[in-house]
Structure formats: structure tokens, C-alpha cells
Amino acid sequence: MPQSLFDKLWSIHEIADLGQRQSLIHVDRIFLHERTGSIALKSLEQAGRTIRSPESVFCTVDHIVDTRPGRGDSTPVPHGAEFIAATRESARRAGIRFFDVNDPEQGIGHVIAAELGIVLPGTSVVCPDSHTCTLGSLGALAWGIGSTEAEHALATGTLRVARPRSMRVFFGGAVPAGVTPKDLVIHLISRFGSRAASGYAVEFAGPAVDGMPVEGRATLCNMAVEMGAFTGMVAPDATTLRYMRGREYAPAGALWAQAVEHWSALRSDSEAGFDRQLDIDCAVVRPTVTWGTHPEQAIPIGGRVPDPASFEDPHRVRAAVRALEYMELAPGTPTDAVRIDAAFIGSCTNSRLSDLRLAAGFLRGRQVAPWVRALCVPGSSAVKRAAEAEGLDEVFRLAGFEWREAGCSLCFHAGGESFGGQRVISSTNRNFQGRQGPGARTHLGSPLTVAASACRGYLCAAEPAA
């Protein structure tokens, strides 16, 4: 019987069918961070349990670690230092790899798990963080869990998982110049809604995905959770192999050859069935930005903020009314009339080297508008070093951006630094009420859109090169 990529990943990791659609699934890698992993480690210790395979567990500091230069344990987040110290102590006692504040390999978990080759095609990985699905970009089965489930995975090396249904999202057509993977995924979510993939494992496929670098695929998979997906994934191909080869934790020599042979089967058979298929014609997608308080509330740049009455679903109408009130936007406002106070490039969605190159390419020789505060936060310490080696830090600084240490930073407000009360164009994944600070009004867009908007001081797209 023909199988999808997801069917194959599931069967590789299925230890036992527990009945009632539940299976016991083997977990190959566990990633933790100081915000939600700390409590899982602590709780496990308090229960007198130990980690089944400490060598497969990795922990980073990304969520509340300071990203200002010259950082140590102390952070603007109240009690933040206690989270970092508690995590470090728990990690040491547990004997797991801990990427400490000034470790050269530190970074956002979902970024370093890929760049170090900790997560490989065909592996299963969980992390108490909803954006773990990012790692599906390598052809891994990667999904976000809570802290209690993390405790379960640590203690048993497994999780009890209800089998999701399968979905394929097919990106057909040619991608116009200036349209990035971020635009494609925001377009997808706004077209089909916040629940479209709820209960599904989503495979992203089609010519646009085939031609996309791994880092772009990471952006696509990252936001699968914003449409409710269990996970997102892309079948590993030659692009994936080129990306993986030589990474610190990736296999080498004969083991690499053996792994490659195994990975080559990890693709959906041509006759494989999916429970649902969505199609996107990339040719009609434009640089896209959100206007509301969920990623599903988005429009092409150059368009106008919709009238809530234009939605058919009464719930969407009410949600739009509330969102516009919070965002302080009137229906019909053209996007280019929306003045911003701040611009943010970073997060597990868009903080990799290719994202920074894209933004810097626009910023070279340009200046951020005088009223805009702009920040660039690399996704990992390695990304930061690589960007500096190319002189990108200078481009950002000269344009008026702050250049930071790696971490999640202002993707969300944890009580420390804040975009409170400000309107922000942000390369992140969530425009929820208060996400970036009390009263902060977030517009999501690509790193290119953030760069262009920062310079104009109003929402806008970068003019595509002619």
C-alpha cells in the first residue's frame, strides 16, 4: 500500500499500537529550554525519576536569556536569572548537553538543533515548545508538547500520541520576485484559517518547496502550528543532504552512507493518499502582512485593512472587530498608511543566515526612519558569527539597527524588554494581543518586509529587483 512521508515516519517510530488511535512513539531527541524545560527537569527530579537516555537530551537558553551585548545570567526579565541558574543546575545533575549563555553553540533551540545536526532526517524530536515543528523541514517528525509530556519523554524515551490525520499542502506555480517563504505561509494561513490543519500532520510539497533552501522550508514548517497542525514536514532531498553533511552531530563516513540510503526512502509514494489536500498557486501571492491579532488575519501589502462585515463567518466578524479595536486600525486603511514605531528581525521563524542576508541586502546604503527603533537578533551564536564574518552586522548597524546576541528576544514579552504600546513590524510568528508587550501592536511579515518598512517608517514591501 502506498505510504506518505508521514506514514513512514510514524511506522519507523511506532513501538506499540495502544488502541483507540493511540500509539507509543519512540522519541529520538528531546530538546529543552530554560522557560518550560526547567520545570520538566525539576518535576522529574522531584518524582525521583531519571532520564532514560541523557545522551539524546539537549537543553538551551533562548527564551529569557538577555540578548544585549555583554550578557551574563542577569536579564531584564524579572526572576529570569533564576530560571537560567535552575536550568543549568538541573541539566548538570541530569548529565545532558547544556548550551549555556556564552557557549559558542548557544542559540534558539529550533535553530541550533538543525545547524548542529542534532536533528536528522527521519528522526523524531520533541520539545516543550510549540514551534518544534520547524524541524520538520529536515524530514524529521518534530512536534511541540507540554512540560508534563516532556517529563514523560525524558523518563521513558517515548510518548503516547494520538495519530494525526495527514494533509498535503501543494505549492504550485512560480514564486514572484520579492515573495519569500514567510509570505507563502502567512498567505496559506490567512486563506484557510487558524484551524485548517488542526489534527493534521502536514507535508509541504510542490515545485516551490523543491526549489527552496532548507532554511526557507524551516520558515514554512515553523508556522504550521499557527494553522493548528500537529507538525509540518518536507521530504528530505538532495538539498537536505547538502545541508546536513559535515554538521557536528551528523553521521560521517560509512554511517553517513548508510543513513543516506535510509533517508532516500523518506518521501511520499506517488500514489500515497492524504486525508486532505490544500493547494496554493504561488504566482498570485504577494508580500503579505498581518493586520489583526492572529496570523490568519493577513492581507497583501498594498491592499487595505478589511471591513469586518466582509467576512461570512460571524465568529470571524467578531474576531475582526476585536482585532481592529486592539490594533487601532480602521477598516479600509491602506497598508502603506500604517505608521510603525519599531522593527524586529529575529525568532525561530526568520533569524537564520539567509534571512539576515535578505534583510541586509535591502538595508545596504539605506537608513531606518528616524522614529523607528530597529533590532536584529540572530537565531544562534553561530549565525551571528557567520553574519559578522560577512560584514552583515555593519550593514545592520549603519542602517540604524541594534545588533544583538542570539536568543528569542522580543519575539515575546516576558516582563523585561518590551514593545509596549508600540506598533511593530516583526519577522516573528505571533501577532497575539500583548505578545511583544502590553498594548504592543504586531504586524507579521518577512525579514525583507521588516527591512523595507523600517526604512520607510510605514508598512511596505521591498520593490522587487526589476
Site for other proteins in 300-329 (CB under 8 A): 315-316, 318-319, 322
Find residue 14's DSSP bridge partners. Answer: 25
Under rule CB under 8 A, residue 415 binds other proteins = yes
Candidates 2, 68, 211, 248: give the one binding other proteins (CB under 8 A): 248
Candidates 18, 81, 369, 386: give the one binding other proteins (CB under 8 A): 18
Report strand pairing: 342-345 vs 200-205: unpaired
Under rule CB under 8 A, residue 156 binds other proteins = yes
Cα dihedral sign, 194-345-286-215: negative
Q: What does the angle CA 87 – CA 81 – CA 431 come to, to the nearest 5 degrees? A: 90
Q: Toward other proteins, which CB reaches closer, 294 or 423?
A: 294
Q: Interface residues for other proteins in 443-462 (CB under 8 A)?
A: none
Candidates 11, 68, 246, 255: give the one binding other proteins (CB under 8 A): 255
Candidates 67, 75, 123, 166: give the one binding other proteins (CB under 8 A): 123
Under rule CB under 8 A, residue 144 binds other proteins = yes
Find residue 30's DSSP bridge partners. Answer: 57, 126
Give yes or no for a contact between 194 and 294, defined as CB atoms under 8 angstroms apart.
yes
**Choices 94-102, 184-192, 213-221, 361-369; region in contact with other proteins by CB under 8 A:** 94-102
Candidates 6, 274, 412, 458: give the one binding other proteins (CB under 8 A): 412
Burial class (CB in 10 A: 0-12, 13-18, 19+), 210: middle
Q: Toward other proteins, which CB reaches closer, 170 or 230?
A: 230
Cα dihedral sign, 461-463-465-466: positive
Q: Toward other proteins, which CB reaches closer, 42 or 304?
A: 42
Q: Toward other proteins, which CB reaches closer, 248 or 279?
A: 248
| Cell numbers placing 331 | 477598516
Count of residues near other proteins by CB under 8 A: 85
Candidates 152, 404, 441, 456: give the one binding other proteins (CB under 8 A): 152
Q: Interface residues for other proteins in 346-365 (CB under 8 A)?
A: none
Under rule CB under 8 A, residue 189 binds other proteins = no
Euclidean distance between CA atoms 113 and 126, whole angstroms? 11
Candidates 6, 31, 170, 230: give the one binding other proteins (CB under 8 A): 230
Euclidean distance between CA atoms 54 and 58, whole angstroms? 8
Euclidean distance between CA atoms 62 and 346, whole angstroms? 12
Q: Which helix (H) or strand (E) holds 289?
A: strand 288-290
Candidates 276, 364, 373, 413: give the one binding other proteins (CB under 8 A): 413
Q: Which helix (H) or strand (E) holds 17?
A: strand 14-19
Under rule CB under 8 A, residue 160 binds other proteins = yes
Q: Interface residues for other proteins in 190-219 (CB under 8 A)?
A: 194-195, 198-199
**Choices 90-98, 179-187, 278-286, 386-394; region in contact with other proteins by CB under 8 A:** 90-98
Give yes or no for a contact between 198 and 229, defined as CB atoms under 8 angstroms apart.
yes
Report strand pairing: 14-19 vs 22-26: antiparallel
| Cell numbers placing 445 | 511579515
Give yes or no for a contact between 356 and 446, defined as CB atoms under 8 angstroms apart.
no
Under rule CB under 8 A, residue 163 binds other proteins = no
Residue type for position 195: R
Under rule CB under 8 A, residue 265 binds other proteins = no
Determine phi and psi for 213, rounding to 5 degrees.
-65, 160
Under rule CB under 8 A, residue 104 binds other proteins = no
**Choices 232-240, 255-263, 357-365, 380-388; region in contact with other proteins by CB under 8 A:** 255-263
Rounded to a whole number of angstroms, the minimum distance from the CB of residue 135 to other proteins is: 14
Order of all β-strands in the sheet with 423-426 = 401-403, 373-376, 342-345, 423-426, 441-444
Under rule CB under 8 A, residue 28 binds other proteins = yes
Burial class (CB in 10 A: 0-12, 13-18, 19+), 126: buried
Under rule CB under 8 A, residue 366 binds other proteins = no
Candidates 45, 73, 82, 210: give the one binding other proteins (CB under 8 A): 82
Candidates 60, 134, 137, 147: give the one binding other proteins (CB under 8 A): 147
- Find cell 524579572 and name the residue: 78
Euclidean distance between CA atoms 453 and 161, whole angstroms? 42
Under rule CB under 8 A, residue 74 binds other proteins = no
Q: Toward other proteins, which CB reaches closer, 222 or 354?
A: 222
Under rule CB under 8 A, residue 165 binds other proteins = no
**Choices 167-175, 209-217, 393-401, 414-422; region in contact with other proteins by CB under 8 A:** 414-422
